[in-house]
Structure formats: structure tokens, C-alpha cells
Amino acid sequence: MDPASLSQVMRLLKKDCKKWQTPVVVHMGNEGARPFQVLVGALISSRTKDAVTELAATRLLQQAHDPRQLRSCSQKKIKKLIYPVAFYKIKSKVLHELCVDLIERFGGAVPDTLGALLTLTGVGRKTANLTLTHGFGKMGICVDAHVHRICNRWGYVKTKTPDATEMILREKLPKRFWKNLNAILVAFGQNCCRPVSPFCSQCSVAHHCQKVGVVQSR
């Protein structure tokens, strides 16, 4: 995919996204959520549907607005507030330990660099990049399963893991696309470019796609 084609693809998908629901963590950032709120939402969202994530994050953040308030909650209470998100028992422990980490090492503030975020309990590259881009408005490339799958399906990258995809994108993707890539491709992946049997007949960018690995489409 050459630069001109990539620009056209991103322009078309940005237009298409207006008819699709915005991913919940992106929506939180767009609505002015603080970095801590975005960080918590990103951690809760893993392997959980957006509708469930939104309700769980709202319940939790209404009870605890910052790391000190959340640390004062028992893990039992956190579990109750975030249920039924996936792995809610594990996530309740991670959230509690994260707050201890933030308070003891960063004075209760969420760090605003990728390197520092990656040292926090439970924070991987996806969560760190989401926090940077939608919590702080800084540059970052958040690569989740949708971004990894779609970039490989297009033939724009040829990688085995999301982390490897991020590294290649940092080398070749123009920086003007970095911050919004995840929001656009997650919405696209949830609604059109599905993991199995994507809606290629309805896709506005199908003529730019190499359809790598697509066995069946609709």
C-alpha cells in the first residue's frame, strides 16, 4: 500500500467511523477523561465488550476518582464494581496494585511517558499507548488485535504479534495517523473487517486491500 493509497484509506475509514460506535476508551478521552480514568478504562476493557466496559468503568470511577481513593477500596469491593468484565478477579487485584504503584513511585500521578507507563503493574504496550494518546493527547500507536489483524490483512505489514506490528508501524506509518489509528481500525474491525468472514462487499476500502489470510468473506 503506497502513501497515497494509505491516505485515501484513512480518509475513507474516518468518514465511515461516523456511523459506527466509538470504542469506549477513545470515547472517554474525547469526553475529557483524565489520564487516570483512561488508564483504568483501558485496563478494564481487555477482552471485554465495550458496553460492559463502559458500565463497569463508570461504576468504579464514581466510587474512586483517583489512585488514593481506589487504593482505599478493598479488592472485594472493586470486584463487585467491575463485575462482569472478563477476568474481573484478576483485574481487581491489578487495579489495587496499580494504585499502590502510582502512589509510591509517582506521587499519585499517572506518568506521561511510554517508558514509565510500561513499568506500572499490569500495563502493557496497548494500555500504555491508549493512555498516552487519549489521556494525555500525546503521540503513540496503540496496536490491539484489530489493528494487528487489519494491517496484516491489507498487506501493509507482515508480522506475527501486535507488538511487532507496533514496531513496524512506528517505522513506516506517517505520524499524522498515529493517534487516531486505533480508534478508526477498532471501529472498522468491529463493524466491517471482522476476524472471520469480513464484509468485503460492503467495505469502502476493499480495492486497496490485499485480503491476506481471508478465506471467506461476505
Each residue's pLDDT tens digit, 9-57: 999 999 999 899 888 898 898 888 899 999 999 999 988 999 999 999 9
Domain range enclosing 90:
33-135
Mean pLDDT of 190-215: 95
Residues of the chain with pLDDT > 70: what percent?
A: 100
- The answer to whether the beta carbons of residues 3 and 173 sit under 8 Å apart is no
In sequence order, which residues have a C-beta less than 8 Å from that of residue 75 and are 6 or more positions away? 92, 93, 96
For residue 110, what is the DSSP state?
A: P
Q: Is the pLDDT of residue 1 over 80?
A: no
Same domain, 77 and 120: yes
Amino acid at position 140, single letter: G
Q: Which three cell numbers stand for residue 40?
A: 483504568
Is the link from the previous residue into 84 a cis peptide, with omega within 30 of 0?
Answer: yes
Q: What is the DSSP letter of 174?
A: -
Q: What is the pLDDT of residues 107-154, one digit of tens each?
A: 999 999 999 999 999 999 999 999 999 999 999 999 999 999 999 999
Asked if residue 99 and residue 14 are part of one domain, the reply reads: no
**Domain tally for the chain?**
2
Pair 65, 11 in one domain? no
More confident residue, 43 or 2: 43
- 107 and 88 assigned to the same domain: yes
The whole-number average pLDDT for the span 169-181 is 95
Distances in Å between the alpha carbon of 40 and those of 57, 132, 152, 169? 7, 13, 29, 26
User: Does residue 131 share a domain with residue 145?
Assistant: no
Residue 95 belongs to a domain: yes
Same structural domain, 115 and 167: no
CA gap 168, 8 in Å, rounded:
20
Q: Does 38 share its domain with 88? A: yes
The answer to the question of residue 217 being in a domain is no
Specify whether 73 is located in the same domain as 129.
yes
What confidence score (pLDDT) does residue 30 get? Answer: 87
pLDDT computed for residue 31 by the predictor: 87
CB-based contacts of 203: which residues, under 8 Å, 6+ apart? 192, 193, 209
d(CA 26, CA 60): 18
Among residues 106, 135, 164, the one where a domain terminates is 135
Q: How many CA atoms lie within 13 A of 132 on its CB side?
A: 24
Residue 21 has what pLDDT? Answer: 87
Say whether pLDDT at 3 is over 80.
no
Listed residues 135, 151, 177: the one ending a domain: 135
Q: Is residue 218 part of a domain?
A: no
What's the pLDDT score for residue 136?
Answer: 96
CATH classification at residue 177: 1.10.1670.10
State CA 135 to chain mean position distance.
Answer: 12
**CA–CA dist 127, 187 (Å, integer):** 17
Q: Quick one: pLDDT at residue 12?
A: 96
User: What CATH number corresponds to the domain at position 50?
Assistant: 1.10.340.30
Task: Kindly compute the dihedral angle of the four CA atoms of residues 130, 135, 140, 145, in this order, to the nearest 10 degrees.
Answer: 10
